[in-house]
Amino acid sequence: MWNTIANIKDVILIGAPLVLIHFYVLHVYNVQTWRVLLWWVKSFLFSGNGATLGALVAFVVFGAFLVFSFGSLLNSIYLGVFGEKQELVYLGNVTKNTSVYCTVGDYKRKTFQGHNPDTEYNTSFDDLYRLEVLLKDPGSEEKVGLKPNRASFFGLVAGALLLLMFALLFTIPIHAVTYPAHLELIEKLSSGNVSVFDSYDKYMGRYGLTVGVTLAMSGVLLVLFLIVNLALMPKSKLGNRLHDLPRVVVPGNTIIGKPVEQIVETKKTKDEHGNNKSYDTGFRYVMLLFDWEFPINAYVVMKYHKDKYPGLQQNIDKLIHDRKKYEVMINDKLEIVPIS
């Protein structure tokens, strides 16, 4: 029975927002969504009409975010009510968003991975082999579930704020994309001189909304989401360690690991024209696999700055290419650092 419920839930997570979008377009503009999309395809292929290309891209991007945020919130509610608690052993991260686990007491079997929404690297051996409680879908074969803090009250509030923000933002491109198609297909008028904001002022103005007001409200919702997500939502914490670390893992020792990936940290800023651009912070993250004397393979990240260790980035890249191991130092926090 749970398998059937899980399958129905998965269909609803994706299908429900798409159906709502379709009926919204049908209600406001009296045109089916598929006809709008088909009109846009023909417009680009045959007439070269690209006046609202940005709105079309925004329609696809924010539509995807809307579907994702709706599914994430609904899934959190579902698992908060029906989810089964399972205890797993944390073995580190293989990427910023992917954690590795094994089942409790079963250290010799194959490990498995799961999505980590906290988007953090584990930089210390102190995190390894600790218990982590997750909420698992009783009807799903997926081994890794949801972190309980995501299904808490403030976790759901954060999810609802994010959904509302994307829903508001989505109202801009959905009108900008649908209105020209409505003019051509339903009213048989030319859309050549239509502004992407004409339809928004016409249909949303009755509710006191303009593009500027909508963007401002979305900004407020984003701030509220960040406050709830970062300050009010309970933090996800690892439990007690279920297996001792190898004897070699003590401050001041060196240890050998296999580098598997090196990540360049970049951040976004504004250029002199106000456009977004990325810049290199200089920090590097090296994912190392440790298997020697470890009861089961584990992963720890080494963080360093390229200016402090000239040439190290090239050396690490070569080690990864040649599949060779690398010796690092363990500091007082059980973090790994390059040997000076």
From first to last of the 340 residues of the chain, give the pLDDT tens digit.
777 887 888 889 889 999 999 999 898 888 888 888 888 777 765 555 555 566 778 888 999 999 999 999 999 999 999 999 988 999 999 888 889 998 887 766 678 888 877 667 899 999 999 999 999 888 876 668 888 999 999 999 999 999 999 999 999 888 888 888 888 888 877 666 666 677 787 788 888 888 889 999 999 999 999 999 989 998 888 889 988 899 999 999 999 999 999 999 998 887 776 677 888 999 999 999 998 888 889 999 999 999 999 999 999 999 999 999 999 999 999 999 999 7
Contact by Cβ (8 Å): 196, 55: yes
Q: Which helix (H) or strand (E) holds 101?
A: strand 98-103
Nearby residues of 34 by Cβ (< 8 Å), 6 or more positions away: none
Rounded to whole angstroms, what are the CA distances from 228 to 150, 152, 207, 222, 308?
11, 12, 28, 10, 37
| H runs (alpha helix) in the chain | 2-29, 33-42, 53-82, 153-185, 198-204, 211-227, 312-322
Contact by Cβ (8 Å): 222, 165: yes
Rounded to whole angstroms, what are the CA distances from 310 to 277, 283, 305?
25, 12, 9
- Give the C-alpha separation, 178 to 192, whole Å: 14
At 192 the pLDDT is 64
- Give the C-alpha separation, 113 to 90, whole Å: 10
Contact by Cβ (8 Å): 182, 31: yes
Which pairing describes strands 254-270 and 326-330: parallel, antiparallel, or unpaired?
antiparallel
